Structure 1
Amino acid sequence: MITQFPKDVPFNELGLNIKKINALIEYCKDEESDELILISKNGMYHENFTNTNKPIALNSLTKVFAGTAIGLLMEEGLISSLHTPISTYFLNLNKTEMSEITLWHILTHTSGIHTDGHDNELSAAPNIAEYVLALPITDKPGTVSKYSNEAVGLLSEIVRRITGKTIDQYLNEKLFIPLGIKDWEWLKDQSNNPYAYAGLSLKGIDLAKFANLHLNDGVWNGKQIISKHWIDTATHPTQSINRNWGYLWLTAYVEDVYVGYGMSGFGGKYLLVSPKENFIAIRLVHRKDPIPAPSADLFFKLAIDIIK
């Protein structure tokens, strides 16, 4: 546990393997990264390769923030159970195939809602929720693990129907302001609803605050922002269909041993958190078309190798 946000130190003072850190730094340089942040119990190494001062699009990393919104609503008692059917919020779904889908199914990528495997049509839809609710069910909910931008897209509208606020307004109040995150952006559909599966942009240092909050069991400056129970549950395997998924977090293993969790966003936005090792690794880059996206697997391998 890192109880305070760490101070800046040279990478050779992190107390970690210097040769392995150098390998990760070289990877980030080769892949034209904008920011690399490494945090250990000894401090934080922050390399801003391009001197960027603008928020960077997190793409699918946005999903863990959407999941966090559901966790915060649970703590407020505004959601009684993750097994609440989504028809509670979309009454027109009663007696349809979608009536069996619950919040839990969305958070674990087991909703069964048809997915295209990309977000081209989804992001072009005038209203994300209406688009998704018109899609067919291709698998019985809770039986197949299939990564779904479409299902996660519903979380934005669900948050709005519960709170009367858009998901960015809600998270700004409950998460960003308490963490001192002021410079952020969130893309919206034509109906002014923020995308829940992508769309959030943050600076590397602010993503590090969010990650550090998780290392500190949800406590920031002595105040409980996210419950420890939610963090523990959301960042560990949640079902037997695919142990790689928590609640929109991916779990990480070395030789079948759990070492932490993280998430990636298209185009090279990566976050790894290892509570046992008090370790965080972040790599961000502004999307540079038509340069191919770097290997997420290689980043996570190099990052995990530092703490092995």
Structure 2
Amino acid sequence: MTNWERATPEAAGFAANLERKLAAGFESGLLLPIHALLIGRAGKLVLEQYFDGEDESWGDQLGRVQFGPEVLHDLRSVTKSVVGLLYGIALERGLVPALDAPVIDGFPEYPDLVADPERRKVTVGHTLNMTMGMEWDESKPYTDPTNSEIAMEMAPDRYRFILDRPITGAPGEKWVYSGGAVALIGALIERGSGQKLPDFAREVLFAPLGITDFHWMAGSDGVVSPASGLRLTAPDLLRIGAMLVDGGRHEGQQVVPASWIEASWTPAIQTWDGLGYGRLWYIHEAPAPGYDTPLRWVGAFGNGGQRLWLAPEAGIACVINAGDYNLFERWVTPARIWREIVVGNLVRA
């Protein structure tokens, strides 16, 4: 990784044998193969390891890939959290509706839905928190056309498909994982900014961080996917993480509003497995050596084992890329790396 000052694990406050413990985890079989693992702390690169393995991009097989600092990788649903940041930037610039605005008002081409008083109760904030109170089911495999996200991609009008889902409860009461919610957020950004999502992202987020190489996958209708389509290098994803840990700043420039970051990392709802969730980020805590109380962590999660883990109070950002797509039982590996290798090897605050 270029333009990063490096620090040994010991100098950065980790156990001196951090890399050896990681290697032992792989050798023992407790840590299944991954594609990339990067750890940064306080703006310094502590660990950077790449591997080789089978990979794909949105289902297109890429064969065996030797990963490295310049290789793009699917982020899958980590994309959602990046789009959450873009909405915060757009909101500060006055380009998109406020969080208490009915999300349906951003889609006036559906007057029948706009006039529905129940649908008008669903706000932008509910959409960002995935608490829309509308039917959505992504529990089925992403190869199944009845999976709601796949059905959305196949629908003649993706936005009507999302906004016309049956109402299942009051908005704000229940978290339901929804790529459709994020598709609406992406559309609001595009409509408000007058730019395609990749162009807006390049201008307001990627270019300020020095990120020049990325790709954003699109559906058959040419609409890029705010829910899962972004491909970045592992170092560039770590660059985003380091900026967030530094309160949204990069080299003295405020890239993402600090108030948006802190509000996003304050749980608005609880997920089905007990994590906090806010504005497209997961929030929880874990015990850490050197800290008297559990350490708050924030995460962006993606299919296959893609992870951006952050411990803001400890100044830590961690990126994991993997190729375990749709193998949900193997997603314990990224969590184990974060819990046992990264947080578990902190020796001082």
Per the shorter chain, which TM-score range? 0.7 to 0.9
- Deviation of 1:189 after TM superposition, in Å, equals 1.8
On the 8 A contact 2:242/2:316 being kept in 1, the answer is no
Give me the whole-angstrom Cα distance separating, in 1, the residues matched to 2:244 and 2:235: 14
1:185 aligns with 2:215: yes
Q: What letter corresponds to residue 94 of structure 1 in structure 2?
A: V
Aligned to 1:246: 278
Deviation of 1:73 after TM superposition, in Å, equals: 1.2
Equivalent of residue 94 in structure 2, options 64, 77, 99: 77
The residue type paired with residue 273 of structure 1 is L
Q: Does 1:155 align with 2:153?
A: no
Task: For residue 285 of structure 1, report the CA deviation from its aligned partner.
Answer: 2.2
Q: Is the 8 A contact 1:55 1:203 kept in 2?
A: yes
Residue matched to 2:36: 35
Q: Could you tell me which amino acid in structure 1 is paired with residue 225 of structure 2?
A: Y
Q: Which residue of 2 aligns with 1:300?
A: 338
Instruction: Name 1:17's counterpart in structure 2.
Output: 15
Say whether the 8 Å CA contact 1:59–1:265 is kept in structure 2: yes
Provide the aligned length of Structure 1 versus Structure 2. 304
1:112 corresponds in structure 2 to: 133
More strand by share: 2
Q: CA offset at residue 224 of structure 1?
A: 1.1
Decide whether aligned partners of structure 1 residues 21 and 190 sit closer, same or farther in structure 2, where only a CA change above 3 A counts: same
- Give 1:217 deviation, angstroms: 1.2
State the 1:86 CA deviation. 0.9
Matched, 1:210 2:248: no
User: What secondary structure, in the 3-state scheme, does the structure 2 residue paired with 1:37 have?
Assistant: strand
Matching residue of 2:299: 262
More deviation in 217-226 or 283-292?
Answer: 283-292
Alpha-carbon distance between aligned partners in 1 of 2:175 and 2:104, rounded to the nearest angstrom: 21
The residue matched to 1:276 in structure 2 has which SS? helix
CA deviation profile, 1:143-196 (whole Å, cap 9, x unmatched): 112222222221121112211212111111110111111111111122322111
**Regions of 4+ moved over 6 Å:** 240-243, 288-292
Asked if the contact 2:36/2:320 (under 8 Å) is kept, the reply is yes
Q: Give the drift of 1:127.
A: 4.5
Within 2, Cα distance between the matches of 1:109 and 1:263? 14
Instruction: Give the alignment partner of residue 274 of structure 1, picking from 286, 311, 314.
Output: 311
Q: Kindly provide the CA deviation profile for residues 101-142 of structure 1, in whole angstroms up to 9, marking residues without a partner as x.
A: 111001111111211124332344454323212322222211
- 2:308 is matched by which residue type in structure 1? L
The TM-score with structure 1 as length reference comes to: 0.88
Change (3 A) 1:147 1:257: farther
Higher deviation after alignment, 282-291 or 65-74 = 282-291
TM norm structure 2: 0.78
Q: Distance in 2 between matches of 1:25 and 1:249?
A: 30
Aligned position for 2:62: none
